[in-house]
Amino acid sequence: MIPTWQLRAAFARRLSDMYGTEVPAYTTLLEVAGEVNDDVLKRGGDAERLGSIERVTAERHGAIRVGTPAELRAAAQIFAALGMHAVGFYDLRDAASSAVPVVSTAFRPIEAEELDRNPFRVFTSMLTPADRRFFDASLQKRLEAFLARRTLFPPELLGLAVRAEAEAGLSEADAERFLTLAVAAFELSPEPVDRAWYAELERVSAIAADIGGVSSTHINHLTPRVLDIDELYRRMEDRGITMIDRIQGPPRWSGPDVLLRQTSFRALAEPRRFREPDGNVTTGSLRVRFGEVEARGIALTLSGRALYDELVGEPAEVWQARFPRTERQLAVGDQAFFMYEPVLDGPGESLRPADGLAGLLDSGLLTATPIVYEDFLPRSAAGIFQSNLNDAGTRDTTRAGTHYDAHWLSEAIGRPVHDSFDLYAVQQNRSLERARLALGIPKETP
């Protein structure tokens, strides 16, 4: 049997190889990310504090877009076969000034050991045709009819995915077939695009056209992880690759890296075949896919995230003044998540502090290792999408939006949608409990 995590790792590798063939600039991005990571490691310091270089090098997240709850449910089944669960609900419709009519979740491993084996994630967005801010009743009806006629994932692939989930893996032959079908499902289709239909949707949103204007789905971008995203941005520009205008997320500053910083190169014109209104097939191009890169930091608690949300968009000088400037401050202030380990050869029983976490850390009885943020930021995701659009599209701000939330998402895919804060809190609390037991500290100690 090929176990689940090996299926996930193999799928991530094959998807990366396929995307590099289709989008050569992505291969350049991988090369530059590798060079930057090597140079950061040579400088020494705590380069691997937020993950070993082996994990950072292997790490990817992908992004796909689907059109209906049924398509989203099928995607969830494929990712379940790879040990990936829905985590978080992201509403991008109000997170950007451009028309981004999608709601999203991320499929990823949720256990620490599975993340360490391979942390592959897929940010998955679903179109919202019922939202009257973007689609009138006529367009909604025609769009939903178009989406209902297509099949994104062949029945054989879904059948293998069901078996892989139930049996926690597949035989070697079935694994090969599953991986071949799964990668093919996310390749760019050679089928001609109906130019008039695509153009009609594109007037609403280029994202709507990319989802509902074609007969298939595809990888929209793949994202490696880098240890110095500012240096990568500079080197990509030096190679003549046009990057978007800024790095999304927290600013570069002298304090701890937190949450997620992202940037990308601009979507490139790719040749596509079009079916014209007269039935002829012509050749043209579309700007849809791009190459994204990310730098990950420490996961923040609810209070830490609230402070981040206050400061988002502010310059580094404001962060220097208002955001905790050390990991210790983040830990003691309960503003970030950490894994805690006891130091059993530290001070003796008589020196054990009575003033909680701060005392345990200061006395050397406890060490704190940051928990890496494994998820996404709605504003940053929408900003990446928006920065790769040719125009803003249209949105009727006088109309009310259709309601979606995590409960709706869970019902749609028939699976739980995990709250990322809960996942981090469980991981941290387990480590604290183990540390207390090892040190013989009463549970009531703060």
For the chain, report the end-to-end CA distance as a whole number of angstroms.
46
What's the whole-number mean pLDDT along residues 66-75? 98
Separation between Cα atoms, residue 438 and residue 446, nearest integer Å: 16
Q: Which two tokens stand for residue 322?
A: 């208002």
pLDDT tens string 349-379: 545 555 688 988 988 889 999 999 999 998 8
Sheet of 269-275: strand order equals 193-194, 269-275, 281-287
Q: Which two tokens stand for residue 92?
A: 């991008």
pLDDT of residue 267: 81
pLDDT tens string 147-167: 999 999 999 999 999 999 999
Separation between Cα atoms, residue 223 and residue 63, nearest integer Å: 9
Say how many C-beta atoms besides its own lie within 10 A of residue 350's C-beta.
Answer: 5
Please tell me which of 83-87, 217-221, 251-255, 285-289 the model is most confident about, judged by mean pLDDT.
Answer: 83-87
pLDDT of residue 346: 56
pLDDT of residue 152: 97
pTM for this prediction: 0.93
pLDDT tens string 3-12: 999 999 999 9
pLDDT tens string 203-260: 999 999 999 999 999 998 899 999 999 999 999 999 988 888 889 999 999 999 999 9
Among 179, 185, 265, 192, residue whose Cα is nearest residue 222: 265
DSSP strands (E only) in 19-101: 60-66, 85-91
| In the predicted structure, residue 388 carries a pLDDT above the cut 80 | no
DSSP category for residue 267: P
pLDDT of residue 378: 86
Helices (H), 44-154: 53-58, 69-80, 112-117, 137-149
Separation between Cα atoms, residue 12 and residue 82, nearest integer Å: 10
What letter represents residue 328's amino acid? R
